[in-house]
Amino acid sequence: MTLRAGAPAPRRRRGPSLPAILSALFWALYLALIGAWLIFPILLVVLASFQGNLEVTWPPGHLGFAGYRAIPGGYWQSFWFTIKVSVGASFCSLLISFPAAWAMVRGRLWERRLFSSLVLLPEIVPQLILGIALLTVFIPLGLSNSFAGVMLGLIALNLAMGLRFGEALLQGLPEEYELAAASLGAGKLTALRLIVLPMIAPGLAIAALFIFMQNLIAFVLLFFIAGPSATPISIRLFTDIIDRGVVPEAIAMSAILVYVAVIFYAAVALALGPRYMAGALMSRKG
Amino acid sequence: MLSISSITARQPAPGSADRFGDPPGRPAPADPDGAVAARRRRNEVLFYRLCALPALAVTLLVAAVPLGLLIVQSVRAQETGDWTLRYYVRSLGNRFFTHTLLTTIAIALGVTAVSVVLAFPLAFLLARKSRLRTLLMPVVTVPRMLPFVVVGYAMILLLAPITGVVNRALLQLGVLHHPLFILFSWPGQALAFVYSAIVVAAGILTGVLIAVDPELEDAAVSLGATRLRSFLSVTLPLSIPGVIAASALIFATVVTAYAIPVMLGGRVPYMISIVIATNLLTLQETHLAFAQAVLVSLLAVGVTVAAQLVLSRFGRR
């Protein structure tokens, strides 16, 4: 059996040829290895979280929720902090970036290239330098180590993604709908509310999900502007491993983050179908 | 890919309001209709600019201005505020800094090459085999949605010298007599980066390969090429834009990564971000750290921009 289905039928050939067997073997081996490499570490985290131990043993001995029960309140606080700040930042950034995308696509402004490059800046510039820059500005303003500061940083980062999603969505929607609405006397905002928004609402929901996920895993930027009283979960886990080494609670929390990613994938895949995930993934940069 | 050029290329739709608003070719300002239309166009432009204003304000205030201030401060002396380039000179003249920077670049280049090569067949399968795709998509997507910290924990469980699964398995099987200490050194960090980078590369390459028409390969085969040859001379060249985009993204990410180098780091800092963070947070040499951050960012942004330029030339052909 070859994996290359759909090939034109080989001329006068009885059994599978040697190259076909070799290529099937290559693909099988490759898939097995790369699949194991990608899945196995994640499985280890989940398994270790149930064993409540740093040493994963096989066959698994005592599985239990001890690791999960041991998760300290501080972790949960950070977890909910992350969820809250991510939801807030995603919502605000869509609210800000969608009108901008609309203006870019429909407005025919001469400065749109300049504007787009400027809004994409936080994504092109490494988070390392953006984080340091925000830290130095936020400290005198009292914004570092605060909910508002973390959220502002995330919004700046998200606008780029929101703008790209918004532009793609609006480019996919023919302008004639809006023109028809305008010809019937609707103002721009009415057309936006009654025609444009309902038509691209599913796309906007997906955009919101992706922005939310970006916020959930943001690290380097937040490392500099977060602090003890505003700690996202990735920062909390990170500082903990520096201060105390690997502890079972941290692994249980990591496993919870794995579940969040899996649930997120399931939600998007159900909403979109897996085919479109590729396009959505690609749109992250470039 | 989402490019802005496609907007520029778009012709105004027939009958659209702003056809009246394009002034130069239009006659006579005396024409009352023209004046009304021009005013309407002005209002429209104003309205759209207002729509774009919040995004502009946030980006300026929360990104552009802080970055500008940082660059300005990097050329001023920390104590006196005099203009000086000494932080740049000191960094580039410091053997430790340049050595770490070169190591970082070498690791990033290696990670980029390895992960693009490893991800390419995966992306090919994802793009061509729709049944495999449903199966493989979660495998490729879920790791991408994990924070680097979780990847770090996974690598510790997998590769740690005494407790790691791989080491214990190999010791039990008698392949090794002493545990391998790869984790808290550069190979462990490189492996962790490759883990994350493979899925990034697979995502980008899949998007590009889906756009490559499989019938082109079939055509090559029908002309007598082998499957491998048709892949090498048809599919591979057509997917170069994806390779460039993925490489630039991975390189820029690895060069400035911070979580993995610290979590899986030993006593010697291999990655430049650690040096910068130490200068900033521990040694209080803030302006030196600014200058070094600017240097590293120039490298990362340079690669990204160069890739974009090459890609836009590809797009024009």
> Is residue A27 domain-shared with residue A95, that is, in the same domain?
no
What's the CA gap between A124 and A120, in Å, rounded? Answer: 6
Residues in chain B closer than 8 A to A257 (CB atoms): 146-147, 150
Flag if B149 and A238 touch (Cβ within 8 Å): yes
> Is residue B224 domain-shared with residue B303, that is, in the same domain?
yes
Mutate to test the interface with A, among B146, B191, B194, B262 (most CBs of A within 10 A): B146
Question: What is the token pair recorded at A117?
Answer: 């490059």
What's the CA gap between B315 and B317, in Å, rounded? Answer: 6
Residue B6 lies in a domain: no
DSSP symbol at B11: P
Placement of tokens 């774009």 in the chain? B52
End-of-domain residue from the set A64, A90, A121? A64
Cβ neighbors of A183 (< 8 A, separation 6 or more) are none
What is the three-class DSSP state of A174? Answer: coil
> Is residue A81 domain-shared with residue A222, that is, in the same domain?
yes
Nearest CB to A116: which of B4, B133, B152? B4
Nearest CB to B45: which of A30, A109, A213? A109
End-of-domain residue from the set B44, B74, B104? B74
User: How close B272 comes to chain A (CA, Å)?
Assistant: 11
What residue of A is the nearest CA neighbor of B2?
A: A168
Residue B1 lies in a domain: no
Mutate to test the interface with B, among A2, A93, A282, A284 (most CBs of B within 10 A): A282
Which helix (H) or strand (E) segment holds residue B249: the answer is helix B240-255
Residue B11 lies in a domain: no
Please calculate the CA angle B105-B150-B190 and round it to the nearest 5 degrees. Answer: 25
As for how many domains chain A has, the answer is 2
Q: What is the pLDDT of residues A153-182, one digit of tens each?
A: 999 989 988 998 888 888 888 888 888 888
> Is residue A147 domain-shared with residue A57, that is, in the same domain?
no
Question: What integer pLDDT is reported at residue B31 of this predicted model?
Answer: 57
> Is residue A194 domain-shared with residue A236, that is, in the same domain?
yes
Q: What is the pLDDT of residues A104-117, one digit of tens each?
A: 888 888 888 888 88
Of residues B185 and A57, more confidence is placed in B185
Give the CATH number, domain containing residue A136: 1.10.3720.10
> Is residue B34 domain-shared with residue B183, that is, in the same domain?
no
> Is residue A244 domain-shared with residue A105, that is, in the same domain?
yes
Residue A5 lies in a domain: no
Flag if A136 and B12 touch (Cβ within 8 Å): no
ipTM field: 0.81
Residue A260 lies in a domain: yes
Mutate to test the interface with A, among B104, B132, B157 (most CBs of A within 10 A): B157
> Is residue B64 domain-shared with residue B118, that is, in the same domain?
no
Question: What integer pLDDT is reported at residue A258 of this predicted model?
Answer: 92
> Is residue A157 domain-shared with residue A215, that is, in the same domain?
yes
Cβ neighbors of B111 (< 8 A, separation 6 or more) are B190, B193, B194, B197, B250, B254
Residue B79 lies in a domain: no
Parent domain of B55: 24-74
Question: What is the token pair recorded at A110?
Answer: 């001469």
Work out the mean pLDDT of chain A and round it to a whole number: 81
> Is residue B291 domain-shared with residue B175, that is, in the same domain?
yes
> Is residue A79 domain-shared with residue A165, that is, in the same domain?
yes
Residues in chain A closer than 8 A to B308 (CB atoms): 286
What is the three-class DSSP state of B76? Answer: strand
> Is residue B42 domain-shared with residue B117, that is, in the same domain?
no
Residues in chain B closer than 8 A to A97 (CB atoms): 55
Placement of tokens 């691209």 in the chain? A200
Parent domain of A237: 68-282
End-of-domain residue from the set A6, A39, A64? A64
Q: Cis bond leading into A59, ω under 30°?
A: yes
Are the C-beta atoms of residues A153 and A129 closer than 8 Å to each other? no
Of residues A282 and B112, more confidence is placed in B112
Nearest CB to B62: which of A23, A105, A155? A155
Q: Of the segments A63-67, A233-237, B31-35, which one has the largest average pLDDT value? A: A233-237
Residues in chain B closer than 8 A to A8 (CB atoms): 218, 221-222
The total of other beta-carbon atoms located within 10 Å of residue A266's CB is 12
Residue A284 clears pLDDT 50, i.e. is over it: no
Residues in chain A closer than 8 A to B60 (CB atoms): 118
Question: What integer pLDDT is reported at residue A190 of this predicted model?
Answer: 82
Question: What is the token pair recorded at B79?
Answer: 């104590």
Nearest CB to A103: which of B48, B121, B296? B48
> Is residue A37 domain-shared with residue A78, that is, in the same domain?
no
Question: What integer pLDDT is reported at residue B112 of this predicted model?
Answer: 93
Q: At what angle do helices B95-128 and B286-316 cross, to 10 degrees?
A: 30
Does pTM top 0.90 for this prediction?
A: no
Using alpha carbons, select from A208, A202, A201, A223 the residue that is nearest to residue A92.
A208
> Is residue A114 domain-shared with residue A74, that is, in the same domain?
yes
Q: What is the pLDDT of residues A263-273, one digit of tens each?
A: 888 887 887 76
Question: What integer pLDDT is reported at residue A2 of this predicted model?
Answer: 43
Residue A257 lies in a domain: yes
> Is residue A167 domain-shared with residue A104, that is, in the same domain?
yes
Residue spans of alpha helices (H) in chain B: 5-9, 32-59, 65-74, 86-93, 95-128, 130-141, 148-159, 165-173, 186-211, 214-222, 227-230, 236-238, 240-255, 259-263, 272-277, 286-316
Question: What integer pLDDT is reported at residue B194 of this predicted model?
Answer: 92
Residue A190 lies in a domain: yes
Residue B117 lies in a domain: yes
Residue A81 lies in a domain: yes
Flag if B2 and A269 touch (Cβ within 8 Å): no
As for how many domains chain B has, the answer is 2
Q: pLDDT tens, position by position, for chain B (317 residues)?
A: 334 444 344 444 444 444 444 444 444 455 566 788 888 888 888 888 888 888 888 888 888 888 988 888 888 887 787 888 888 888 888 888 888 889 889 989 999 999 999 998 888 888 888 788 878 888 888 888 888 888 888 888 888 877 778 888 888 887 777 777 777 778 888 888 999 899 889 888 888 888 887 788 788 888 877 777 888 888 888 888 889 989 999 999 888 888 888 888 766 777 888 888 888 888 888 888 888 889 889 999 999 889 888 888 876 55
Residue A10 lies in a domain: no
Which helix (H) or strand (E) segment holds residue A94: the answer is helix A73-106
Flag if B63 and A188 touch (Cβ within 8 Å): no
Q: B90-106 burial string, b = 16+ CB within 10 Å, else e?
A: ebeeeeebeebbebbbe
What's the CA gap between B245 and A35, in Å, rounded? Answer: 24
Residue A6 lies in a domain: no
Flag if A129 and B311 touch (Cβ within 8 Å): no
Flag if A175 and B13 touch (Cβ within 8 Å): yes
Give the CATH number, domain containing residue B280: 1.10.3720.10
The residues that bridge with A227 in the sheet, in sequence order, are A230
Count of A–B CB contacts within 8 Å?
313
> Is residue A42 domain-shared with residue A86, that is, in the same domain?
no
End-of-domain residue from the set B74, B106, B141? B74
Placement of tokens 């028809």 in the chain? A180
Residue A88 clears pLDDT 90, i.e. is over it: yes
Flag if A275 and B58 touch (Cβ within 8 Å): no
